[in-house]
Amino acid sequence: MKPGIVQKIFKDHFEAYRKTRVLGRRQYHAAGNIMTCRIFDQGYHINACPNGDYEVLVHNSCKHRSFPLCGSTETQLWLERRKRQALDCRYFHVVITISHDLYPLWWYNRKTFTNLMMRGAWHTLRELLQDFRWLGALPGAVAVFQSWDDEMKNHCHIHLIVTAGGLNGDNRWVNTLKDRLVYTPVLAAKFRDKFLAYLREALNPLTSKGKAKPDKDRRYPPQGKNKQQCLNLLNKLGRKRWHANIEPPYEHANGVFKYVGHYIRRGSISERRIIDYDKNMVRIAYAHKDKHEAKEFSTPMNR
């Protein structure tokens, strides 16, 4: 549909939506930016020719990552920076997913939880690939956290772009064996154990020396849960199989950077995916049609 459809949907329905929901500061901030983007509320600037031959008033963009019209420029800049950093080697695309049972803990401690996911993913890859059974060298990696799926439902996972090789102890480049990075079950199991250990440590009110943590360093269970219930959940999840996926290697980084770059400065949906909107229902195309039986799905606006 034409540009601005996401803004129109918010203007039509956000007021009614917020009256039936408990929303946080982040949600109000995002909605406010989307509804006022490129109108007088955001202020304006003037593009003018120094000779006075041209002058136009332009309303400012909100630059919020959830608004599709504001993400393309930042995404392109990110892609250009990553391409300049890319090595002349093959790359693997790795995806690591966590259990849905952890989402309440994520919602309650978003920043810390996401940082621990990133740390766990990198430490897992680093330790495995420095083992001579896999590579015996230190790889390079770029990681991106994503919290939604094709239907814009909660789905926390990490994309990692990993070099198909690395530097060994002598600072010499070592390539991976054939098309294998590591075995996926090994990667998933090691990440599970590391990440759950990091979460247990974060929930502990005491430091490793037995002293009370400052309030800024403490992490709390979600509303309605206590610490022991969270620890019991972590123990339960530690006995389950977790999921990871490693795509066949790319010959260069450009393709996978472009794929992952869509999640850096852009929201969960692009406007070209919105097929139809009639104020009561919105019809949306799947981003990955090959993973679904249907090509699109519909959602009512009063959901």
**pLDDT at 1 > cutoff 70:** no
**pLDDT at 215 > cutoff 80:** no
Based on the fold, state whether residues 174 and 242 are members of the same structural domain. Answer: yes
Is residue 73 assigned to a domain? no
Based on the fold, state whether residues 239 and 106 are members of the same structural domain. Answer: yes
Q: Which residue has the higher pLDDT, 174 or 177?
A: 174
Is residue 139 assigned to a domain? yes
Is residue 80 assigned to a domain? no
Q: Out of 64-78, 167-181, 218-232, 269-283, which region has the weakest mean confidence (pLDDT)?
A: 64-78
> Whole-model pTM?
0.81
Based on the fold, state whether residues 246 and 102 are members of the same structural domain. Answer: yes
Query: How confident is the model at residue 148, as a pLDDT?
Result: 77
Based on the fold, state whether residues 240 and 128 are members of the same structural domain. Answer: yes
Is residue 149 assigned to a domain? yes
Based on the fold, state whether residues 204 and 280 are members of the same structural domain. Answer: no
Per-residue pLDDT band for 58 (boundaries 50, 70, 90) equals confident
Based on the fold, state whether residues 33 and 110 are members of the same structural domain. Answer: no
Based on the fold, state whether residues 21 and 154 are members of the same structural domain. Answer: no
Span 50-55, mean pLDDT?
Answer: 86
Based on the fold, state whether residues 295 and 146 are members of the same structural domain. Answer: no
Based on the fold, state whether residues 36 and 141 are members of the same structural domain. Answer: no
Domain containing 51 equals 5-67+267-300
- The neighbour count for residue 113, using CB atoms within 10 Å, is 23
Based on the fold, state whether residues 162 and 109 are members of the same structural domain. Answer: yes
Based on the fold, state whether residues 155 and 282 are members of the same structural domain. Answer: no
3-state secondary structure the chain: CCCCHHHHHHHHHHHHHHHCCCCCHHHHHHHHHHHHCCCHHHCEEEEECCCCCCEEEEECCCCCCCCHHHHHHHHHHHHHHHHHHCCCCCEEEEEEECCHHHHHHHHHCHHHHHHHHHHHHHHHHHHHHCCCCCCCCEEEEEEEEEEECCCCCEEEEEEEEEEEEEECCCCCEEECCCCCCCCHHHHHHHHHHHHHHHHHHHHCCECCCCCECCHHHCCCCCCCCCHHHHHHHHHHHCCCCCEEEECCCECCCHHHHHHHHCCCCCCCCCHHHEEEECCCEEEEECCCHHHCCCCEEEEECCC
Is residue 79 assigned to a domain? no
Is residue 105 assigned to a domain? yes
Is residue 258 assigned to a domain? no
Query: How confident is the model at residue 40, as a pLDDT?
Result: 82
Based on the fold, state whether residues 131 and 194 are members of the same structural domain. Answer: yes
Query: How confident is the model at residue 222, as a pLDDT?
Result: 87
Query: How confident is the model at residue 100, as a pLDDT?
Result: 93
Count structural domains, the chain. 2
Is residue 151 assigned to a domain? yes
Q: What is the pLDDT of residues 25-48, one digit of tens each?
A: 888 988 898 899 888 888 888 899
